[in-house]
Structure 1
Amino acid sequence: MEGPAINLRIRELLGEGYGHIVVQNPLAKHSLGVGILNRLKLDFEGSLGYFGCGLIDGPNVHIKGRVGWSCAENMMAGVVVIDKNAGSTFGAALRGGDLVCKGDVGSRTGIDMKGGTILIGGRAGAFTGFMMQRGRIVILGNAGPNLGDSLYDGTIFVGGTIASLGVDAVPGEITDVEAGWLERKLAAYGMKAPNGVGNLTKIVAGKQLWNYDNLEPAEKKIAL
């Protein structure tokens, strides 16, 4: 079956009342599991290609393999768990729900993120959290260069080393409320901070770019 036929069959089964659907041998096809706007337990027994599980609002998805670029783009609600690695722009424009990768992720993960949570069990590539507006990103491994570049709001937590911070991304202090949330959220997916949640590095917006267009040219140079 080709990708569009697989998606059509998922919708047909969902309409017939099935609450748990398993796709065997997805063969890394692109754009599978997209546009699902209902509660559904959906398992992919293998890897997906580009744009998997985008534009979803409610399903609980488990991918027993890897995913390509832009997995869960514009996800509104639900849960997506990937057992292995993910490509670039993982969770682009994420708006809600939990997006979990047990392995490494590529560059620009969480770009333009507007809500929800991204959990990463391994390393994250360059420009993770780029132009992030809301939500939380938790990286248990190392983070690549320009972490949180042009961060407007939201929070990033890192368990390993940070190659460099991007423009307007600054360290913050983890609160007791955040530590409790981190413990519960990680435990829900069988994950654990390498040295305890209290030793994660917290990154927030320095807010020097807020109302950026209102700055004078000299002030823009200082902010950058």
Structure 2
Amino acid sequence: MDTLITSGRRQAGPYDARGLAEPDAVAPNVAKIEGDSAILDAAELSTRQINLELRRLLYKEGIRNITIQNPGAKHSIAVGILTRCRIKIEGSLGYFGCGLIDGPEVHITGRVGWSAAENMMSGVVVIDKNAGSLTGAAIRGGDLVIRGSVGARTGIDQKGGTIIVGGNAGSMTGFMMQRGRQIICGDVGPGLGDSMYDGAIYVGGRVASLGVDCVEAEMTDSDWELINRKFRIYGLDRPDSFRKFVCGKKLWNYDKLEPNERKLVL
């Protein structure tokens, strides 16, 4: 971490050795504002500058519709946004895009890397193409929609919200899922729902194998109502049929495990 030296003490802050603010530590003030909308060309900006400019637009200028052009697959873009707004990202993002958000509606027209929308509290994130592994890790609420396919461990440690995948999902999807829903239109790799505690996973394609304590359950009218409503909201085409997978609850009480099960999970 960069520091500023004053009175013999080192204070944390975005300063250089002379005590001057680093160039990318302040909002660049380059967005074009028209009414309640703004366009930000991020081609020549660093990650920090992009995020600082976003905050300036949202919290100082009161802009609620922002378009980010030329994101250049940079990492950690549009993180920690805690207000209702609409952000359109025209292009692809790197790792950890749109993490720690609470309220915004984000539309990404390209692809995203690992851990997109990690720890999302509320809001909507729509990704038009593919996403990497750990998509939607530990989300607590909101809707995360990936029109393409996703990598391994999608929704790991999911605590709420809904994840919708238009394509396929990798291995260990729903690992340690605690609550919420996943709707996957395509095929899923091995270890589906491994060690899940609660929640529901709906799969339209083939399942390579189920994880520990993940079992198939009967689809209900409320399940179909949820699926149809979500697909209608986001204009998605859904498969003709889905299978539902939930926690078998055999691992809820570890003192009741059989010896062979204890060896498996401990």
TM-score, structure 1 as length reference: 0.95
Aligned mate of 1:8, from 37, 44, 52: 52
Distance in 1, Cα, partners of 2:181 & 2:89 = 26
Residue of 68, 71, 77 corresponding to 1:32: 77
What RMSD, in angstroms, separates the aligned Cα atoms of the two structures?
Answer: 1.3
- The one-letter code sitting in structure 1 at the alignment partner of 2:256 is L
Residues 74-93 of structure 1 aligned to structure 2 (within 5 Å): 74-93=119-138
> How far apart in 1 are the matches of 2:257 and 2:219?
34
Distance 1:147 1:11 in 2: 38
- Structure 2: which 5+ residue stretches go unaligned? 1-44
Q: Is 1:139 matched up with 2:191?
A: no
What are the residue-to-residue correspondences of 1:59-138 with 2, within 5 Å?
Answer: 59-138=104-183
Q: Indicate the residue corresponding to 1:172 in structure 2.
A: 217
The count of corresponding residues between Structure 1 and Structure 2 is: 220
Alpha-carbon separation, structure 1, partners of 2:242 and 2:125? 23
Residue 37 (structure 2) aligns with:
none
Runs of 4+ off more than 2 Å: 214-217, 219-224
8 Å Cα contact 1:208/1:223 also seen in 2: no
Identical positions, percent:
61
The reply on whether 1:218 has 2:259 as its aligned counterpart is: yes
- Structure 1 residue 200 displacement after superposition: 0.3
Partner of 2:90: 45
Q: Alpha-carbon deviation of 1:7?
A: 0.3
CA distance 1:171–1:4, shift in 2 (3 Å): same
Secondary structure of 2:230's match?
Answer: helix
Q: Which amino acid aligns with 2:252?
A: W
Which residue of 2 is the match for residue 203 of structure 1? 245
Q: Secondary structure at the match of 1:181?
A: helix
* Whole-angstrom distance in 2 between the partners of 1:218 and 1:17: 60
Contact 1:128–1:147 under 8 Å retained in 2:
yes
1:160 aligns with 2:202: no
Q: CA deviation at 1:124?
A: 0.3
Whole-Å separation in 2 of the counterparts to 1:94 and 1:165: 22
Picking from 181, 193, 196, the partner of 1:148 is 193
CA distance in 1, matches of 2:231, 2:238: 8
Give 1:180 shift: 1.0
Cα shift at 1:218: 1.7
* Stretch moving more, 183-192 or 125-134: 183-192
Q: What is the CA distance between 1:21 and its match in structure 2?
A: 0.5
Q: Is the 8 A contact 1:209 1:223 kept in 2?
A: no
Distance 1:190 1:88, change over 3 A: same
CA–CA distance in structure 2, aligned partners of residues 46 and 70 of structure 1: 17
Measured in 1, the distance between the counterparts of 2:170 and 2:73 equals 22
Q: Tell me, in whole angstroms, the C-alpha distance in 1 between the residues paired with 2:80 and 2:103.
A: 10
SS of residue matched to 1:187: helix
Displacement of 1:223 in angstroms is 7.3
Following superposition, the deviation at residue 216 of structure 1 comes to 5.4
Question: SS at 2:211's partner residue?
Answer: coil
Distance of 1:57 and 1:211 partners within structure 2: 34
2:235 aligned with 1:190: yes
CA offset digits 1:97-134 (Å, max 9, x no partner): 00000000000000000000000000000000000000
